[in-house]
Structure 1
Amino acid sequence: MIERAVSTTNSSRPKRSIKGFFLSRKVVPYVFVSPFILSFLLLFLYPLISGVVMSFQTILPGQTTFIGTSNYERILNPTFFKALSNTTVYVILTTVILTIVPMVLATMLNSKFVRFSNVFRASLFIPALTSTIVAGVVFRLMFGESEASLANTVVGFFGVEPLEWKFGAATGMFLMVLLATWKWLGVNILYFMAGLANVPRELYEAAEIDGAGIFNKFRHITLPMLKPITVYVVTITIIAGFRMYEESYVFWPEGSPGNIGLTIVGYIYQQGFRMNDLGFGAAIGVVLMLIIFVISILQLTLSGTLKKGG
């Protein structure tokens, strides 16, 4: 009787299947986040650790040797500082342009006086869907050195001699910034328009009743309410600026004269792949990562974002 009761009790217990295990409340959250965790480990953490390890090595076909900090000691050279200065100027210009101009244009498109704003939103997003390489080819033709190029034809109307756009430091930087502005302006406008959609209309109506003009409403209502979007746009623009490579490559595939278009990522590619010095290229990449990290933390601290988060 006791054995029968025990066997009956054991048989009455529901057997936990594999399917039931994965559908349990304790396991399901980990199942949902597992794709992110795996992609983070395989596509970010592992390459990061490998890159840091490579930066202390000299790598030849079939031969890897640890050389300490020699690669980092080689970084302090005129070419690196030239690439860093070019990249810094590019980051400053694109951050200012791609923050202020989209904010103003988004405010204009969000006003009740502009018709067909949805058409403008769709058209402004089209450049972001275009390949940078394809757009760069078109820009190279537009800003060619011949008198018949579009850019030289336009400046010719104002009595300016034809310019060699790709062979001057100022004009070369202008081309890279112009291409980045054309491509990402519409995306940032959409960011700011999404922020403006959350601004209560009652604030503007109350300001109008108090006699506030367009400038005062923009200064005292629009700017404070758009601060989170502004911080986000500034952050991603800074990071994208330091990671920039394509905007330089499309104008100077074989290298720019006097390194006028050399960026840090371009320098990594040049040393790591063209010169077959992967260890030195990895060291430059680690330094670039630290630069982006420090500047991002500094920017978020100055904007007060980290303090609020803490």
Structure 2
Amino acid sequence: MYKIKKALNSQKVAPFVFVLPFILSLLIFWAYPLISGIVMSFQNIDFGVKVWVGPAHYLKLAHDKFFRIAVWNSIEYMALTLLLMIPIPLLLAVLMESRLTKAKGVWKVIMYIPALTSVVISGMLFRMMFSEADGSQMNRLLEWFGKAPIAWLKSKPTAWVALLLLCMWRWTGVNILYFLSGLKSIDDVLYEAADIDGASARQKFWYITLPLIKPTTIYVVTISVYAGLAMFLESFMLWNGNSSPKNIGLTIVGYLYKRGIEKNDIGYACAVGVILLIIALAINTIQLVATGTFKKEER
């Protein structure tokens, strides 16, 4: 017992004891499911009976038109959310951090509250708002402008307006807080020096704020790429199920759910999940290399 206590108090052993919970959780809840999913993607699984089929599922995916639709929808959604959820929260964060904004704490709370709302509740609210009924909020808005009611969720352009507004409503406040934390790390002396040199607000934003907030921007882009590709529940709730007109709301995770849960084709669903992982890793690796994240700092 004495030897165990002595070992735990040792400077060489103690660090490993502290990181052991993290290592165990990483192995149990990330590494093991990942490896199991990759292995199952090469198998047919039926009521616990596993049959090795090799790359058959991946060959089938290559000719699966519904999978191609799901991939395109997910990439398109990811790209649109990046165009909306990076510049808009950044500009709002800069505005909130400026001297023009009063009661900054109140605004932070107001902007963050939607993120605390359940996706299920949010999806139901937006489904009712964008309902094709004459009394829905969006159709009432059209009536004020003299337009006829439309079926918002049956056409891709209008349906995606609802989907993107739902995303912005829930996550704009979160990204604002990320950017605010990055802005806090910028020394005010730099802005004071720029004021002395006669720099305009645009020049200070372009030459001071943007370069120094780059690490935060890279982080927000990285998590936004995965969030966009892995979107599922928003679409599921907006269309009240995993079926949308002409598959306009079908995503990669939605297709994974359809094959794995609805059709009990676990092996095929695992193959879909592996492809999702590869796409997310490829896109994030490209953007990290393009932004110079992997470059060694010069000393």
Q: What is the TM-score of this pair, normalised by structure 2?
A: 0.95
CA RMSD of aligned residues (A): 1.4
CA distance in 1, matches of 2:289, 2:152: 39
**1:58 alignment partner in structure 2:** 44
Match of 1:39?
A: 25
Q: Which residue of 1 aligns with 2:185?
A: 198
**SS of the residue aligned with 1:59?**
strand
Question: How far is the alpha carbon of 1:19 from its aligned partner?
Answer: 2.8
Give the TM-score normalised by structure 1.
Answer: 0.92
Q: Pairwise mapping of residues 203-242 of structure 1 onto structure 2 (< 5 A)?
A: 203-242=190-229
Deviations 1:189-248 (A, max 9, x none): 011111111212222222222222221111111111111111111111001111111111
Residue in 2 aligned with 1:171? Answer: 158
Structure 2 counterpart of 1:68 = 54
Structure-2 separation of matches of 1:131 and 1:308: 42
State the alpha-carbon separation in 2 of the partners of residues 37 and 220 from structure 1: 41
Partner Cα distance (2:297, 2:137) in 1:
50
Are 2:292 and 1:304 aligned? yes
Which residue of the partner structure matches residue 237 of structure 2?
250
Structure 2 unpaired stretches of 5+:
none
Residue of structure 2 equivalent to 1:293: 281
Change (3 A) 1:145 1:276: same
Q: Which moved more, 1:182-191 or 1:164-173?
A: 164-173
CA displacement at 1:25 relative to structure 2: 1.9
The Cα of 1:26 is off from its aligned counterpart by 2.1
- How far the C-alpha of 1:277 sits from its partner, in A, is 0.6
Aligned to 1:30: 16
SS in 2 for 1:199: coil
1:294 shift after superposition: 0.8
Of 8, 11, 16, which aligns to 2:2? Answer: 16
1:118 paired residue among 102, 105, 109: 105
Unaligned stretches of 5+ in structure 1?
Answer: 1-14
Shift of 1:142: 1.2
Amino acid across the alignment from 2:2: R
**What amino acid is the match of 2:7?**
F
Matched, 1:274 2:266: no
- Report the CA distance between 1:172 and its aligned residue: 1.7
Q: Does 1:82 align with 2:60?
A: no
Give me the whole-angstrom Cα distance separating, in 2, the residues matched to 1:180 and 1:138: 13
Q: Distance in 2 between matches of 1:229 and 1:37?
A: 26
**1:281 offset after TM fit, Å?**
0.4
Identify if the C-alpha distance between structure 1 residues 52 and 28 changes in structure 2 by more than 3 Å, giving closer, same or farther. Answer: same
Label 1:83 to 1:99 Cα distance change in 2 as closer, same or farther (>3 A).
same
Which structure has the larger Rg? 1
1:97 and 2:84 equivalent?
Answer: yes
For the residues of structure 2 that align with 1:200 and 1:171, how far apart are their CA atoms?
44
How far residue 254 of structure 1 moved from its aligned partner, in angstroms, is: 4.1
Superposed CA offset, 1:244-289 (max 9, x none)? 1111111121411111000000000001111111000001111111
- Counterpart residue type for residue 230 of structure 2: R
User: How far apart are residue 23 of structure 1 and its match?
Assistant: 2.3
Aligned-partner residue type, residue 130 of structure 1: T
Q: Which amino acid in the other structure matches residue 223 of structure 1?
A: L
SS state of the match for residue 295, structure 2? helix
Residue matched to 1:183: 170
- Flag the 1:20–1:97 CA change in 2: closer, same or farther, 3 A: same
User: Greater shift after overlay, 290-299 or 211-220?
Assistant: 211-220
